[in-house]
Amino acid sequence: MDSLKGPTEWGEGRHGVGPWEEPWPQDPRFDPELLAHGDTRNVVDAYRYWSLEAIRADLDSRRHPFHVAIENFENDMNIGTVVRTANAFLAQAVHIVGRRRWNRRGAMVTDRYQHIIHHDTVADLMAWAGERDLAVVAIDNTPGSVPLERAQLPRECVLVFGQEGPGITRDTAAAAAMTCSIAQFGSTRSINAGVAAGIAMHAWIRQHGDLKHSW
């Protein structure tokens, strides 16, 4: 079907695609309910009419070897944005450190497709990363940090972000293998944590991503 080419946002608009005219495809990845009633989900057209399980399986076969972690000791409101961006850049998983509850509105349902792992403490996250030989990279504008624009990020790593305002905790700063800052030129002391996460993930993609596999 020609309508399945390209991102839905530019192809079929806000309302997705309607029911599939029979005969239906026999591919088991397709969901009979979606074929019958249409697919209005915010997914790229390559995944139109696929079941949730089929989409997750395909994503899992292609995920990048970096993880994202965000501290949530004060109920940070940026976690949903981080999850949505991690889905866009196909991170292995998003790790939430601290409070288990978070506002899912900003995720725009992408948490259904993204692995979410919870850790009670920074020490728990660091132990988890250490067991898997993942380098921990903190992102914060602190003295002694390496400019992200010039840093060579490890291919297999965990990018850790602090909360809006206080930034990363001292425990994270002490345990991280390196801390990277994002160059700023305006009057504000810091940028939004969700924006910072997107910048850092894209920096990883620029260094290690294979653009042939992007949509």
- What's the per-residue H, E or C state across 82-106? HHHHHHHCCCCCEEEEECCCCCCHH
Question: Is residue 5 predicted with pLDDT exceeding 60?
Answer: no
Does 151 reside within a domain? yes
Q: Taking residues 166-173, what's their average pLDDT?
A: 93
Strands (E), 5-93: 66-72
- pLDDT tens, 22-41? 999 999 999 999 999 999 99
Mean pLDDT over all residues of the chain? Answer: 92
Same domain, 107 and 164: yes
The pTM assigned to this predicted structure is 0.90
Phi-psi region of 154 (alpha: psi -120 to 50; beta: other; left: phi over 0): beta
Under the banding of pLDDT at 50, 70 and 90, the label for residue 15 is low
Instruction: Give the sign of the dihedral formed by CA 145, CA 146, CA 148, CA 149.
Output: positive
Closest-CA residue to 86 (of 19, 159, 28): 159
Same domain, 148 and 190: yes
SS3 139: strand
Q: Taking residues 195-213, what's their average pLDDT?
A: 96
Closest-CA residue to 142 (of 185, 181, 175): 181
Closest-CA residue to 109 (of 161, 55, 62, 158): 55
Note if the bond before 147 is cis, omega within 30 degrees. no
Does 76 reside within a domain? yes
Q: State the DSSP code for 211.
A: G
CA dist., res. 156 & res. 204, Å (int): 10
Under the banding of pLDDT at 50, 70 and 90, the label for residue 1 is very low
Burial-class residue 38 by CB neighbours within 10 Å (0-12, 13-18, 19+): middle
Write down which residue in 8, 36, 59 finishes a domain: 59
Same domain, 34 and 115: no
CATH number at residue 205: 3.40.1280.10
Closest-CA residue to 85 (of 52, 110, 63): 110
Same domain, 45 and 150: no
Q: Are 116 and 83 in contact (CB under 8 A)?
A: yes
Length of the chain: 215
Same domain, 39 and 78: no
Kindly state the tokens that stand for 103. 């506002």
Same domain, 55 and 119: no
Residue 160: give the domain boundaries: 63-210
Does 69 reside within a domain? yes
Structural domains counted in the chain: 2
Does 11 reside within a domain? no
